[in-house]
């Protein structure tokens, strides 16, 4: 199996290879994430401020370089909707409940995938935002049922970037499931699910986020 890089690996690679362009680094690392030996479902987890948004950016750029369309649904996308995504999200945070937007994005993106006639991947970045526990479980089961019963012809894979245990629990026993923890603390989904939950204060999260943002700013600014 291809090596999958943690965000510290990414930063160190850039420092050790200053002559390498960001595009080259992205191509190397993004290919490793996309090369999951035929996995239909890739789950990426990580602590707050671990760099999950950067991984999403890397995957988008890598897909573009390979002429693979990337259907990306994220918190950023909710705020920066183009004409195409307005039809997917069907609502704005100021006048539609966050949970409804989450459900709209999942249902409409799967419907769109079913009609597409070119290779593509779907990235769900925290698709469960705004949903209660029962609704999160229902959403995970909905995605699983739809895809397991009618996988779109041109869909190459679905990537979940999530903190949500119920999503991981729902998919982890499928043969086409792959799991990766950005922090490399947990080698398997079972390890991640069994971890002891330790509190992190708001001050710690803010400090970690500020420090990591500065390190990864070049990657976030990629066009």
Residue 116 within a domain? yes
* 152 lies in some domain: yes
d(CA 25, CA 138): 38
pLDDT of residue 20: 47
Residue-wise pLDDT for 6-35, tens only, equals 445 554 555 555 544 445 545 555 555 555
For residue 112, what is the domain's CATH number?
Answer: 3.40.50
Confirm whether 30 is domain-assigned.
Answer: yes
Give the residue among 97, 30, 49, 26 at the shortest CA–CA distance from 205: 49
Q: Is the pLDDT of residue 179 over 70?
A: yes
- Over range 160-181, report the average pLDDT: 91
Q: How far apart are CA 212 and CA 50, in angstroms?
A: 7
The secondary structure of residue 126, as a DSSP letter, is S
- Mean pLDDT on 92-97: 65
Nearest to 188 by CA among 172, 166, 170: 172
Q: What are phi and psi of 171, to 5 degrees?
A: -105, -15
Q: Is residue 93 part of a domain?
A: yes
> Which of 67, 44, 41, 42 is closest to 54 using CA atoms?
44
2: in domain: no
Q: How many domains does the chain have?
A: 1
The DSSP 8-state label assigned to residue 160 in this structure reads E
Buried b (16+ CB within 10 A) or exposed e, 108-134: bbbebbeeeeeebbbbbbbbbbebeee
192: containing domain: 7-220
Residue 30: per-residue pLDDT: 55
Domain assignment present for residue 1? The answer is no
Residue 112 corresponds to which tokens in the numbers above? 């769109």
Considering only residues 216 and 135, tell me which one the structure prediction assigns the higher pLDDT.
Answer: 135
Mean pLDDT calculated for residue range 75-90: 54
- pLDDT for 25: 47
Q: What percent of the chain has pLDDT over 70?
A: 67
What band does 5 get if pLDDT is binned at 50, 70 and 90?
very low
Which candidate, 124, 120, 109, places its Cα nearest to that of 63? 120
Which is it for strands 69-73 and 120-125: parallel, antiparallel or unpaired?
parallel
Higher pLDDT, residue 159 or 53: 159
Q: Is residue 106 part of a domain?
A: yes
Relative to beta strand 155-161, strand 120-125 is: parallel
pLDDT greater than 90 at residue 93: no
Asked if residue 66 has pLDDT above 80, the reply is: no
Calculate mean pLDDT across residues 175-200.
Answer: 89
In a domain, 104, yes or no: yes
Helix (H) or strand (E) holding 99: helix 98-115
The stretch 184-199 carries a mean pLDDT of 91
pLDDT tier, 53 (very low <50, low <70, confident <90, very high otherwise): confident
Angle at 132 between CA 130 and CA 182, to 5 degrees: 65
Confidence band for 141, pLDDT divided at 50, 70 and 90: very high
- Across the range 31-43, mean pLDDT stands at 65
């Amino acid at each position: 199996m291809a090596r999958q890089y943690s965000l510290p690996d990414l930063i160190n690679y850039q420092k050790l290879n200053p002559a390498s362009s960001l595009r080259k680094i992205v191509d190397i690392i993004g290919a490793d994430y996309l090369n999951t030996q035929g996995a239909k479902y890739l789950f990426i987890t990580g602590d707050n401020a671990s760099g999950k948004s950067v991984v999403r950016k890397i995957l988008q750029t890598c897909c573009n370089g390979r002429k693979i369309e990337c259907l990306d649904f994220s918190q950023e996308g909710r705020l920066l909707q183009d004409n195409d995504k307005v039809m997917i999200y069907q609502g704005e945070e100021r006048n539609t409940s966050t949970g409804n937007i989450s459900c709209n994005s999942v249902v409409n993106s799967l419907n769109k995938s079913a009609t597409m006639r070119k290779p593509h991947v779907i990235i769900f970045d925290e698709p469960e935002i705004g949903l209660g526990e029962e609704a999160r479980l229902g959403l995970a089961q909905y995605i699983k049922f739809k895809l397991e019963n009618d996988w779109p012809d041109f869909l190459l894979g679905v990537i979940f970037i999530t903190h949500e245990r119920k999503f991981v629990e729902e998919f982890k026993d499928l043969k086409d499931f792959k799991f990766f923890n950005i922090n490399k603390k947990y080698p398997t989904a079972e390890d991640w699910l069994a971890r002891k939950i330790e509190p992190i204060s708001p001050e710690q999260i803010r400090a970690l986020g500020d420090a990591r943002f500065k390190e990864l700013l070049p990657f976030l600014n990629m066009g």
